Amino acid sequence: MKVPLLDLAAHHRPLRDQFQEAFDRVLDAEHYILGPEVQALEAEVAARCGVGYGIGVSSGSDALIVALMALGVGPGDEVITSTYTFFATAGAISRLGATPVFVDIEAHSFNLDPQAVIDAIGPRTKAIIPVHLFGRCADMDDIIRAADERGIPVIEDAAQAIGAETPDGRVAGSVGAMTCFSFFPSKSLGGFGDGGMVVSDDEDLADKVRLLRGHGARPKYFHKIVGGNFRLDALQAALLRVKLKHLGTALAGRSAAAQRYRALFGNSSLDAIELPQHVQGHSYALFVIRAQRRDELQKHLSARDIGNAIYYPLPLHEQECFADLGLGAGDLPHAEKAASETLAIPLFPEITEAQQQAVVDACEEFYNS
């Protein structure tokens, strides 16, 4: 049985008429960039996060850049973040001329280690970006406490974590000074192209992000500061609003599928595979296992038409473009180990038990042969 890593068609099929309606609405309104659809999405996402403001932007990567710009991050500044994340988290820091300070992860959560963050804080630390990797919230309490004591703002990179919650029930997007979401198509709330959002409960920061999003102009053609074109399209917003209405159901589907994997892998008693730890509030944007002989398992699954992907094969501190930071192999060992062991296996809201059984069977076949 062929099992895709993600089946967007299955998710979109029942929503087709609603997408058409949203598309027609934008066509009739002839307002293609920002405008009422974007404002409505901003209000809906902000409300879901329990914060006052949302600013729709062109991608999750741009959300990070514009959030850092709003804090005035630039040359000479340091921003602490995880070495085990998608490149954009650190790319945004570097593009502004600041220095990413990479810290290691906790082996059990894949998220940055709060003590390592605290140890990395120095006089030039301008911001901290915890990443809620794979849909699990980073352990925020100690980071927020240490940051607050020193007046350092925290930006949540929740690109993979819309709808996730901390174990004590705080929604991703409500904890940091600003939070960045991605609407890249494969995300839990994915659009039909690039898109993203910054949310915040801080009126001044939200206003700054909004200003920066449109070349710093207010009013039009009168530029207070230098920003960029970080705008979100109306069509993306209209289509995303359809999907946002069904996000709760989709997240429940992801959670149920994650639990089903636990039962199915439990029956198989494979000890070569370690499943992601379950915690309250995990949104299972990705279901990432640790596997012995990971690369061979990956080849086997691919040969059996079982979708899979490695997130991520090389931690950021080992990337060529960051060589001048002076870190290398052996420096952040938990992330390096994760990069050599992790594999995402199929998980999406509509995945069937038969599909999941096929994934488990293919893993068993590999390890038992």
Ligand X SMILES: Cc1ncc(COP(=O)(O)O)c(C=O)c1O
Residue 322, exposed/middle/buried by CB under 10 A (0-12, 13-18, 19+)? buried
How do strand 178-182 and strand 196-200 relate by DSSP bridges?
antiparallel
160 part of the interface to ligand X, by CB under 6 A: yes
Hey, which residues between 195 and 234 contact ligand X (CB under 6 A)? 196
Q: Which of 49, 131, 189, 258 binds ligand X (CB under 6 A)?
A: 131
182 part of the interface to ligand X, by CB under 6 A: yes
- Residue 15 CB neighbours (<10 A): 16
Closest contact distance (angstroms) between CB of 285 and ligand X is 8
135 part of the interface to ligand X, by CB under 6 A: no
Q: Which of 86, 102, 265, 348 binds ligand X (CB under 6 A)?
A: 86
179 part of the interface to ligand X, by CB under 6 A: no
159 part of the interface to ligand X, by CB under 6 A: yes
Report which of 108, 107, 104, 126 is spatially closest to residue 116, judged by C-alpha positions: 104
| Cβ pair 325, 317 in contact under 8 A | yes
- Segment interacting with ligand X, rule: CB under 6 A, options 46-54, 84-92, 138-146, 241-249: 84-92
88 part of the interface to ligand X, by CB under 6 A: yes
61 part of the interface to ligand X, by CB under 6 A: yes
Residue 274: phi and psi, rounded to 5, are -115, 125
Tokens of 46: 């902000």
How far apart CA 250 and CA 82 sit, in angstroms, is 28
Closest contact distance (angstroms) between CB of 312 and ligand X is 9
Identity at 348, one-letter amino acid code: F
281 part of the interface to ligand X, by CB under 6 A: no
Report which of 104, 160, 119 is spatially closest to residue 137, judged by C-alpha positions: 160
- Return the residue nearest ligand X (CB atom): 60
Please identify, using beta-carbon distances, which residue of 87 and 367 lies nearer to ligand X: 87
316 part of the interface to ligand X, by CB under 6 A: no
Please identify, using beta-carbon distances, which residue of 131 and 339 lies nearer to ligand X: 131
Q: Which of 84, 102, 134, 184 binds ligand X (CB under 6 A)?
A: 184
Please identify, using beta-carbon distances, which residue of 83 and 356 lies nearer to ligand X: 83
| Cβ pair 95, 78 in contact under 8 A | no
- Segment interacting with ligand X, rule: CB under 6 A, options 18-26, 157-165, 168-176, 272-280: 157-165
Residue 332, exposed/middle/buried by CB under 10 A (0-12, 13-18, 19+)? buried
- Segment interacting with ligand X, rule: CB under 6 A, options 30-38, 55-63, 224-232, 342-350: 55-63
Q: Is 54 helix (H, G, I), strand (E, B) or coil?
A: strand
How far apart CA 4 and CA 364 sit, in angstroms, is 18
How far apart CA 164 and CA 155 sit, in angstroms, is 16
157 part of the interface to ligand X, by CB under 6 A: yes
Report which of 6, 4, 7, 11 is spatially closest to residue 239, judged by C-alpha positions: 11
The dihedral built from the CA positions of residue 294, 300, 301 and 302, taken in this order, carries a sign that is positive
- Segment interacting with ligand X, rule: CB under 6 A, options 19-27, 80-88, 106-114, 241-249: 80-88
Q: Which residue has the tokens 């804080």?
A: 121
276 part of the interface to ligand X, by CB under 6 A: no
194 part of the interface to ligand X, by CB under 6 A: yes
Please identify, using beta-carbon distances, which residue of 40 and 309 lies nearer to ligand X: 309
Binding footprint of ligand X on the chain (CB under 6 A): 59-61, 85-86, 88-89, 131, 157, 159-160, 182, 184, 194, 196
